[in-house]
Amino acid sequence: MAGSRNSMSPRATRYAGILFIGDPHVCASPPGFRLDDYGRAVMEKLRFCLETARQRECLPIILGDLFHVPRDNPNGLLVSLMELFRDEVPWVLVGNHDKHEARLTRDVSLAVLAAAGVVRLLEDAGPVEVVCVAQRRVLIGAAPDWTRLPDRVERNGVDCVIWVTHLDLRFPGYEAGKTDLREIPGIDLVVNGHIHTPKPLQVRGGTMWANPGSIVRISRSVQARDTRPAVVIWRPGAEGLETVPVPHAPFHEVFPPLDEGYEESRETVDESMFIRGLENLAIRKTSEGVGLRSFLEMNLNREDPVDRLVYELYEEIMTDG
C-alpha cells in the first residue's frame, strides 16, 4: 500500500523518552474466552498509555497488531480511535493482524487511520526517522511483519539507533522463534512486538533486545494468568528500560476459571508462528484455500516428514473439494 515514506531528517519535536506499547489487538467483540467488555477495556488501556506518554513527554510507538482483525471493524470503533489519537499521534508498526491476506491494503482499518492522519504508519523495513530525545539524536528503524532485520546499520553521526520489530524472535522460553538474537552492528536497542508474553532483556554484544509483551490478555492460559500487562520507556543514558504497569482487571474477572489440574507448558502458551498463522487465515476467511497454500509453502519444510504430511493432507483436501 502506498503510504508514509521513510525520512532521515531531524524532527522539530523533542522528547524526553520513547514509550513502547505492545500489541493492543483492538476489537469490538471479545476474542477467545474473555468475558468482559473487551472493546471498552482495551480503549481504556490505550488511553492510559497515551496519557502516560504525554505526561512523561515520550514518543508513543505501538509495536504492531493495533487491530485484532484487519478490516470490517465497526465505524464507531474507528471513530473512537481517531478521537483518542488526534492529540497524541502514535507511531504504529504494521503487524500480522493488521493485514488482510498478508498484505496492507487500502481497505484495512489501519489504512483508514493512516489516511485520517491520526497515526504515523511504519509499513516499510529500514530507517524511519531521526528524532531528538533528551538532546540526543536517535535514529528509529522498523521491521514490520514478514520483513527482516538489517545485518548492520550505518549510524551517520547519530547518538543512538533503535529498531522496532514485529517478528518471531528466539527469546529464551520462546522456542517457536525463527530469528536468533545477535549483535547487529550499529543498533543499540531492538524492541519487539508480536510475542505477547513479556521477556527479560537480552544483551548480545552491543545490541540490547526487549520484548515488553502485549498490553492485553487474549488467551485463557496459565501464562496469561501470571502476566501483568505493562509498557516500557526508554531514556538516553538509563540502565535498561523502565516498566510501567498498565491497569488491568484480575484474571478471574476477565476469563472463566481454568479447569482443575489445567496445565500448559510455556512453549505451548507462547503461540508459534504456525498457530498464529492459522488464526489469521480464519480471520481472513479465504474461500478457496489460496491464503492457506501460501502460508504452508512459506512455513513448512518439505524435508520434514511431519510437515510433508501436513502439506499432503492439504493437497488431498483441496483436490477432493
**In this structure, is residue 297 part of a structural domain?**
yes
**In this structure, is residue 3 part of a structural domain?**
no
Tell me how far apart the alpha carbons of residues 201 and 181 are, in angstroms, rounded to a whole number. Answer: 11
SS3 21: strand
15 and 112: one domain? yes
pLDDT on residue 278: 53
The more confidently predicted of residues 79 and 2 is 79
136 and 209: one domain? yes
Tell me how far apart the alpha carbons of residues 208 and 248 are, in angstroms, rounded to a whole number. Answer: 28
The more confidently predicted of residues 272 and 163 is 163
Residue 317 corresponds to which cell in the numbers above?
A: 483436501
Domain count of the chain?
A: 2
**In this structure, is residue 261 part of a structural domain?**
no
- Under 8 Å CB-to-CB from 223, ≥6 apart: which residues? 197, 264, 266, 269, 270
CA distances 234 to 138, 166, 274, Å, are 11, 18, 32
The more confidently predicted of residues 114 and 29 is 114
Tell me how far apart the alpha carbons of residues 279 and 218 are, in angstroms, rounded to a whole number. Answer: 13
Q: For residue 272, count CB atoms less than 10 angstroms from its CB and return exposed for 0-12, middle for 13-18, buried for 19 or more.
A: middle
288 and 183: one domain? no
| Phi then psi dihedrals of residue 126, to 5 deg | 130, -170
Structural domain span for residue 271: 266-320
**In this structure, is residue 2 part of a structural domain?**
no
218 and 289: one domain? no
Percent of the residues in the chain that have a pLDDT greater than 70, as a whole number: 77
List strand residue ranges (DSSP E) for 134-180, in order: 136-143, 160-165
pLDDT on residue 287: 38
Q: For residue 75, count CB atoms less than 10 angstroms from its CB and return exposed for 0-12, middle for 13-18, buried for 19 or more.
A: exposed
How many Cβ atoms from other residues are within 10 Å of residue 85's Cβ?
22
277 and 223: one domain? no
289 and 178: one domain? no
**In this structure, is residue 37 part of a structural domain?**
yes
201 and 84: one domain? yes
**pLDDT band with cut points at 50, 70 and 90 for residue 9:** very low
**In this structure, is residue 210 part of a structural domain?**
yes
The answer to whether the predicted template modeling score (pTM) of the entire model surpasses 0.85 is: no
Does the pLDDT value for residue 268 go beyond 50? Answer: no
210 and 235: one domain? yes
**In this structure, is residue 1 part of a structural domain?**
no
304 and 276: one domain? yes
**pLDDT, tens only, 270-310:** 444 455 455 544 544 443 444 566 566 666 665 666 666 67
**pLDDT, tens only, 211-264:** 999 999 998 888 888 999 999 999 999 999 999 999 999 999 999 888 655 444
**pLDDT band with cut points at 50, 70 and 90 for residue 180:** very high
pLDDT on residue 302: 58
155 and 51: one domain? yes
Q: Name the DSSP class of 96.
A: G
**pLDDT, tens only, 30-59:** 887 889 999 999 999 999 999 999 999 999
Nearest-CA neighbor of 231 among 244, 242, 240, 218?
244
Highest mean pLDDT among 89-93, 173-177, 258-262: 89-93
Q: Which of 226, 253, 280 is the last residue of a domain?
A: 253
Tell me how far apart the alpha carbons of residues 138 and 161 are, in angstroms, rounded to a whole number. Answer: 6
Q: Which of 81-85, 175-179, 222-226, 314-318 has the lowest average pLDDT?
A: 314-318
272 and 124: one domain? no
CATH number at residue 221: 3.60.21.10
Cβ atoms of residues 205 and 187 within 8 Å: no
pLDDT on residue 4: 43
Q: Name the DSSP class of 258.
A: P
26 and 155: one domain? yes
**In this structure, is residue 314 part of a structural domain?**
yes
Q: Which of 200, 218, 253 is the last residue of a domain?
A: 253
